[in-house]
Amino acid sequence: MAPPILMNDLSRQHLATSSEVSAAIDRVVASGWYSLGPEVDAFEVSLARFVGVRHAVGVASGTDALELALSAVGCGVGDEVVTVANAGAYGTVAALRLGCRPRFVDVDPETLLMDAAQLEVATTTRTRAVLLTHLYGRLGPVEEVQAFCNRAGIALVEDCAQAIRAERRGCRAGSFGAAAAFSFYPTKNLGALGDGGAVCTDDDEVATAVRSLRQYGWGERYQITRPGGRNSRLDELQAAVLSAKLPFVPGWINRRREIVRRYREAVAGGSLRMVSTGALDDAAQLAVVVSPERDIVRRLLEEHGIATAIHYPVADDEQTGLARSVERAELPVTRTAVSGVLSLPCYPELTDGEVDRVAEAVLRVSNR
């Protein structure tokens, strides 16, 4: 039997980028400067240009980026942050770290992204921000959410951890809100050799706040001028590696989109429904199908040698470790989504033959 097809194989990405990445690593190691230095500065400039905003600020992870972005737009103890409950709880964890109370809205049954029509009932006078996750790499309803936030006088923060380069009418993920969080966890569309993240914004004050908060709340060195700071620096090695990989991102994402579209064709008309589209507004971080018989589908694919994963198996308001700080909400679409979603292998270095094998197995399972 052919070898199994895994959800990801980062050693293949390394083969494709090894000369650029190795040169970047050697340069940093020889430089004698290892955290928040010229490599971070250069990466921040490239990332801001790539996203189409004035500022990018490197931090230590995507979750830190969410926390510092929320903090920089004014979220603090006792404030409420409105978000969804099917997106892995990263935003919820970030909000809780700030002493904020997460409030959940349900998702659209078609896209599994935030249902903007429900924002009105979820907001109160304590609501300080809406955190919109571009889940699976697909842009959420930014226009509707932005219009709502403008009317209500609250901030839109985008979670772009899966969505770098998703775009609508020429505007990219991360350029719509007051602030946007990116993750460079190794398996993301742009991945470091460890953890990393960034906050993007057009707002000078938000950028200044994040720069201060990522380094203890310093204004000048050793002078804490802002409360709520911590250490969330991005290191020079990761920044240099990210700069080396950034030029590959457009090609990688086009390949991911191609893979998603191939799977879409395969499932059309069968019992599985493909959520991911592979269109321009979808960075195709994940290729997600839904099925009421998800666990059976998963087992059948495994028998065909195809690995799958579940993003995400537990809704935020059902996480046992958060039970004391998060109230259960009425989220019927989220409940169905959580028990039905399944992610198929989707990474740029999959060969055409492997993509065909996945598509054929999915077709067989879908039409069984």
Ligand X SMILES: *Cc1c(COP(=O)(O)O)cnc(C)c1O
Collapsed DSSP state (helix, strand, coil) of residue 179: strand
206 versus 234: smaller Cβ distance to ligand X: 234
Residue type, 326: V
Q: What minimum distance in Å lies between the beta carbon of 136 and ligand X?
A: 9
Q: What minimum distance in Å lies between the beta carbon of 59 and ligand X?
A: 9
44 versus 159: smaller Cβ distance to ligand X: 159
Distance, in Å, from the CA atom of 351 to the CA atom of 21, rounded to the nearest integer, reads: 22
The total of other beta-carbon atoms located within 10 Å of residue 102's CB is 25
**Which region, left, alpha or beta, applies to residue 301 given φ > 0 means left and ψ of -120 to 50 means alpha?**
alpha
What single string gives the DSSP state of each residue in 102-147?
EEE--B-TTT-SB-GGGHHHH--TTEEEEEEE-GGGB---HHHHHH
CA atoms within 13 A on the CB side of 24: 25
197 versus 229: smaller Cβ distance to ligand X: 197
63 versus 123: smaller Cβ distance to ligand X: 63
Compute the Cα dihedral for 245, 251, 255, 256 and give only its sign: positive
Q: What minimum distance in Å lies between the beta carbon of 23 and ligand X?
A: 25
At 282, give phi and psi (nearest 5°): -125, 115
Contact 123, 82 (CB under 8 A): yes
38 versus 186: smaller Cβ distance to ligand X: 186
Q: What minimum distance in Å lies between the beta carbon of 364 and ligand X?
A: 30
189 versus 243: smaller Cβ distance to ligand X: 189
Q: What minimum distance in Å lies between the beta carbon of 121 and ligand X?
A: 24
183 versus 243: smaller Cβ distance to ligand X: 183
Residues 6+ apart with CB under 8 A from 106: 84, 115, 118, 330, 331, 332, 333, 334
Residue sitting closest to ligand X (CB): 62
Question: What token pair was written down for 206?
Answer: 């938000």
Q: What minimum distance in Å lies between the beta carbon of 185 and ligand X?
A: 4
Residues 6+ apart with CB under 8 A from 96: 102, 322, 325, 326
Distance, in Å, from the CA atom of 315 to the CA atom of 58, rounded to the nearest integer, reads: 29
Contact 182, 48 (CB under 8 A): no
Contact 357, 6 (CB under 8 A): no
For the CA atoms of 69, 50, 11, 284, what is the dihedral angle to 10 degrees?
A: 80
175 versus 238: smaller Cβ distance to ligand X: 238
Q: What minimum distance in Å lies between the beta carbon of 87 and ligand X?
A: 5
Q: What minimum distance in Å lies between the beta carbon of 95 and ligand X?
A: 12
Q: Which residues bind ligand X (CB under 6 A)?
A: 61-63, 87-88, 90, 133, 159, 161-162, 183, 185, 195, 197
Q: What minimum distance in Å lies between the beta carbon of 115 and ligand X?
A: 17
93 versus 280: smaller Cβ distance to ligand X: 93
Contact 122, 114 (CB under 8 A): no
Q: What minimum distance in Å lies between the beta carbon of 209 and ligand X?
A: 19
245 versus 357: smaller Cβ distance to ligand X: 245
